[in-house]
Structure 1
Amino acid sequence: MSTSLPAFLGACTLVAASPGPSTVLIVKQSLRSRRAGFLTVLGNETGVFVWGVVAAFGLTALLTASQAAYDVLRVVGAVVLVWFGVQALRQARRTEEDGAWGDGGREGVEQSGWASYRGGLLLNLANPKAAVFALSFLPQFVPEGAPHLPAMVGLAVLWAVYEVGYYGLYVWFVGRMKAVLSRAGARRRLEQVSGGVLLLLGLRMALDG
């Protein structure tokens, strides 16, 4: 394990650095507050851990074996992405009407912690590619001769904890830039960009057979 650990953490860094729906949502929520951003990270990493455990038991192989099961999860994931995109665009419109920290903007900032956590978790669990990736990613780093199930679960825990730290830097950075990003114009544009990206990702997932 000690020899494969540096390679595993390096691969985790590359995976986390690759832009995707989770990154967009984490940055978007961090615009509202550090608390919302960090709870979104925790929700996302709970999903990472769940898929890792499911992969350890070999259950995600069902997604690769059953086109119907994969398609159902793919459509659900597309709907979730589109919904998040629409929510971001609606928030951008409220920001334009009320200002970044007017009543409408404050309503978006003060969403519950559970809503932020649930959003990160839902986005990850509704992505079939995350499940298939966990199935193909984790086994590569199981040491030869090690018990497969405990090793896979341990790697899933390490993967999730590592990404909490990695994405926590995103939350911290957005928080440091809050004085600039809180301006109505900047906040509106960022909400529009994040909403548009999430919509496009959702449409791409829906059309991706």
Structure 2
Amino acid sequence: MAEQSAVVGVVSIALGMVLSPGPNMMHLVSRSVGQGRRAGLVSLAGVAVGFLVYLVGANLGLAVLFTALPELLTAIKVAGALYLLWLAWTTIRPGGVSVFAVRDVPADPPRRLFTMGLMTNLLNPKIAILYISIIPQFINLESGGILVQGLVLGGLQILVAVSVNLAIVVAAGAIAGLVTGRPTWLLVQRVAMGALLGVLAISLVLSDVEIAAVG
């Protein structure tokens, strides 16, 4: 079973990443604002299935890989921290556009909405790196049950991501109206999310240093 510190770490990172603008959020918001709440919910269902595909595929492969090559965890931790720092920069850099800006989108049937949500998530590099480089570093090889730990931690990420995205879909219209014409609000959102991701990245690096020092 996953340790409490791993649970807190994954939940924190999942929350920071789902709240930072990315392909999934942009797709869900554009559908919810442009085509209605129902379209956003159908799209979210596709996104959720995409998470499950990553969860199963990544953990079945990683369980075998990390058992054979446990030293890869350090490299993965560094890669994950660097990615979080890059994501923090892309969130706060000048010239960003609000994901809640109202855009004209064509009306699509439910099957297409679901497929678009699924493919948006499967092709989202943020999610790929999350499962390949970030979540695995919270797995404790000494505790055993690598596959179970990966499934539990990945399941927590899905729970956080789907819950937050559901709230975004439901409130997208109201949020779009609120932030339109208010650049200060957008700036505060971007800076807050960027700072959170940066702190998480530094925490991961420092925890790796502490482990090495003790070892």
TM-score scaled to structure 1, two decimals?
Answer: 0.53
Residue in 1 that maps onto 2:35:
none
The whole-number CA distance in structure 1 between the counterparts of 2:50 and 2:187 is: 23
The count of aligned residue pairs is: 178
Residue in 2 that maps onto 1:21:
16
| Structure 1 residue 172: Cα displacement | 2.4
The whole-number CA distance in structure 1 between the counterparts of 2:44 and 2:161 is: 9
Q: Is 1:131 matched up with 2:131?
A: no
Task: Specify whether residues 206 and 166 from structure 1 end up closer, same or farther in structure 2 by C-alpha distance, changes over 3 A only.
Answer: closer
Which amino acid is the alignment partner of residue 130 of structure 1? Answer: I
Partner deviation per Cα, 1:97-122 (whole Å, 9 max, x = no partner): xxx32xxx347xx9x64344433423
Task: Specify whether residues 194 and 56 from structure 1 end up closer, same or farther in structure 2 by C-alpha distance, changes over 3 A only.
Answer: farther
Q: Is 1:176 matched up with 2:183?
A: no
| Structure 1 residue 17: Cα displacement | 4.8
| Structure 1 residue 45: Cα displacement | 5.5
Task: Specify whether residues 31 and 16 from structure 1 end up closer, same or farther in structure 2 by C-alpha distance, changes over 3 A only.
Answer: farther
Residue in 2 that maps onto 1:61:
70
TM-score scaled to structure 2, two decimals?
Answer: 0.52
Residue in 1 that maps onto 2:128:
122
The whole-number CA distance in structure 1 between the counterparts of 2:78 and 2:46 is: 29
| Structure 1 residue 124: Cα displacement | 1.0
CA contact (8 A) 2:85 2:198 kept: yes
Task: Specify whether residues 206 and 46 from structure 1 end up closer, same or farther in structure 2 by C-alpha distance, changes over 3 A only.
Answer: farther
Task: Specify whether residues 199 and 39 from structure 1 end up closer, same or farther in structure 2 by C-alpha distance, changes over 3 A only.
Answer: farther
Which amino acid is the alignment partner of residue 132 of structure 1? Answer: Q
Give 3-state SS (helix, strand or coil) of 1:91's partner.
coil
Residue in 2 that maps onto 1:79:
86
Give 3-state SS (helix, strand or coil) of 1:57's partner.
helix
Which amino acid is the alignment partner of residue 61 of structure 1? Answer: P
The whole-number CA distance in structure 2 between the counterparts of 1:80 and 1:61 is: 27
Residue in 1 that maps onto 2:210:
none
Task: Specify whether residues 78 and 171 from structure 1 end up closer, same or farther in structure 2 by C-alpha distance, changes over 3 A only.
Answer: same
Structure 1: gaps of 5 or more residues? 143-147
Question: What RMSD over aligned residues (CA atoms) do the two structures have, in Å?
Answer: 4.8
Structure 2: gaps of 5 or more residues? 33-39, 109-115, 207-215
Find the partner of 2:191 among 189, 196, 207.
Answer: 196
| Identical counterparts, % of pairs | 7
The whole-number CA distance in structure 1 between the counterparts of 2:89 and 2:202 is: 10
Give 3-state SS (helix, strand or coil) of 1:177's partner.
helix
Which amino acid is the alignment partner of residue 131 of structure 1? Answer: P
Residue in 2 that maps onto 1:145:
none
